Amino acid sequence: MTVITRFAPSPTGNLHVGNIRAALHNWLWARKSGGRFLLRLDDTDLERSRPEYAQAIKADLRWLGLHWDGEERQSDRFALYEERFEALKASGHVYPAYETAQELDLRRKILLGRGLPPVYDRAALSLIPDQIAAYKAEGRQPHWRFKLDHGQPIGWTDLIRGEQRFDPKLLSDPVIRRADGSWLYMLPSVIDDIAMGVTHVLRGEDHVSNTATQIQMFAALGASLPAFAHEALLTGSEGKLSKRLGSLGVAHFREIGLEPAAIASLLARLGSSMPVEPFADMQPLIDSFDFAHFGRAPARFDEAELATLNQKIVHLLPYAAVADRLPQGMDEAAWDAIRPNLETVSDAADWWRIVTGPIDAPVPAEEDRDFLALAHDILTETAFDGAVWRTLTEALKAETGRKGKALFLPLRRALTGMDHGPDMGRMLPLIGRDEALSRLKSS
């Protein structure tokens, strides 16, 4: 069996961190299994779906490195849905209902007020022809519900949650089609999963009850079930489901300079028993992905943890991976020197400006003026090679007796304008003889 997974976003907005995690996990499982990862744009909501959102979703997936092996749009598949719907009508698996949204809402409130679950009472199945004729005379068009089989308990072995059991009598017959003829999520998703050969449906735990009803739709359509895995939802760093998580997407992550690898490294293992580690390459994440590692406890997403992970990954990146994002003139030696001090790749520009100048060095303390003048004179006579910093500081130490902070800090301030930064043994050759002498003379 070829493993086939799918990511099925609705192009009614941008991807947020929860969507990204679902896409990543589906992609990882397909790649680990040597299977296929499909992108399906669930754009049945023609009013809210926008081409620009569809393009943004695809651009986000590409940036994350989640390339797909096939693509479908639900808006191209209405004829298939119509065909399957007519078959379900003929077999008695769907039925029309004429209640308005207001009437249904009132019934739900009454049931809740009585302490009862707000399950649809199937009143539509008891309508007599005269009642239906009266509704039609009012101009009402029916919406359509899938008729759950109350004699068949629903169950499956979830790859994350284990054994799942539902009593269909405690579930409402789901609305599958609106009165205006438009489709809701439930039935088209099942029809597509069957037609596309999806073998594994991996999504959030908020879909568990949907799965229960969709299992009977698979059966009604004569199809075998895919495997299901429902993972715990993300929570914010404060320990509660955060509305902010719904606004955190690729645009935000790119804006603050995060690497796709950092996002993948965190989200691939968030909610699992595996340690979160910095990986600049996807392969270890693919190799280690396993549903058995995931539990039912909420998965805590922390932006501070993501930032730390990003910093560690930046420190692993070779020059070839970032060369096109670095300032003009910054070569591999400069990257190797500056990289340990970066939080994001974009920060390299700030350190490169310190190399190329001009800098705004602080006025040296009175006791450091003669020391810096001596440094200038020694550097004038010193070979400017890879060991120039060590040669300079050893000579100054021998001449002045200074050591530690008193030796190194005045030099760093004069040469970079900073109290901290990359290793000066690497920075000084990048600054160059003439510029270094000019900075020491100006101090």
10-residue stretch averages of pLDDT, the chain, 443 residues long: 96 94 98 98 93 97 98 97 98 97 94 94 96 95 97 96 97 96 96 98 96 98 98 83 80 95 97 96 97 93 95 97 96 96 96 95 94 97 95 97 96 96 96 96 87
Instruction: Burial-class residue 147 by CB neighbours within 10 Å (0-12, 13-18, 19+).
Output: buried
Number of H helices, E strands in the chain: 19, 12
Binding residues are 243
The pLDDT score that the predictor gives to residue 246 is 79
Phi, psi of 191 (to 5 degrees): -60, -45
d(CA 128, CA 126): 6
The pLDDT score that the predictor gives to residue 147 is 98
Instruction: Burial-class residue 4 by CB neighbours within 10 Å (0-12, 13-18, 19+).
Output: buried
User: Chain centroid to CA 202: how far?
Assistant: 15
The pLDDT score that the predictor gives to residue 81 is 98
d(CA 61, CA 20): 8
d(CA 167, CA 220): 17
Q: What residue segments make up the domains of the chain, in order of their start? A: 4-79+185-235, 90-177, 243-314, 319-356, 366-442
Do residues 265 and 309 lie in contact, with contact meaning Cβ atoms separated by under 8 Å? yes
The pLDDT score that the predictor gives to residue 298 is 87
CB-based contacts of 257, cutoff 8 Å, min separation 6: 310, 343, 344, 345, 346, 347
CATH superfamily of 90-177: Glutamyl-tRNA Synthetase; Domain 3 (3.90.800.10)
The pLDDT score that the predictor gives to residue 239 is 67
CB-based contacts of 138, cutoff 8 Å, min separation 6: none
d(CA 191, CA 217): 9
Query: Which two structure tokens, joined as six digits, stand for 150?
Result: 């109350």
The pLDDT score that the predictor gives to residue 442 is 87
Kindly report the CATH number that applies to the domain delimited by 4-79+185-235. Answer: 3.40.50.620
d(CA 236, CA 242): 5
The pLDDT score that the predictor gives to residue 443 is 80
Do residues 38 and 198 lie in contact, with contact meaning Cβ atoms separated by under 8 Å? yes
The domain defined by 243-314 folds into Glutamyl-tRNA Synthetase; domain 2 (1.10.1160)
Binding residues for ATP are 243
The pLDDT score that the predictor gives to residue 247 is 82
On whether the 366-442 domain is CATH 3.30.1360.230, my answer is no
d(CA 437, CA 376): 6
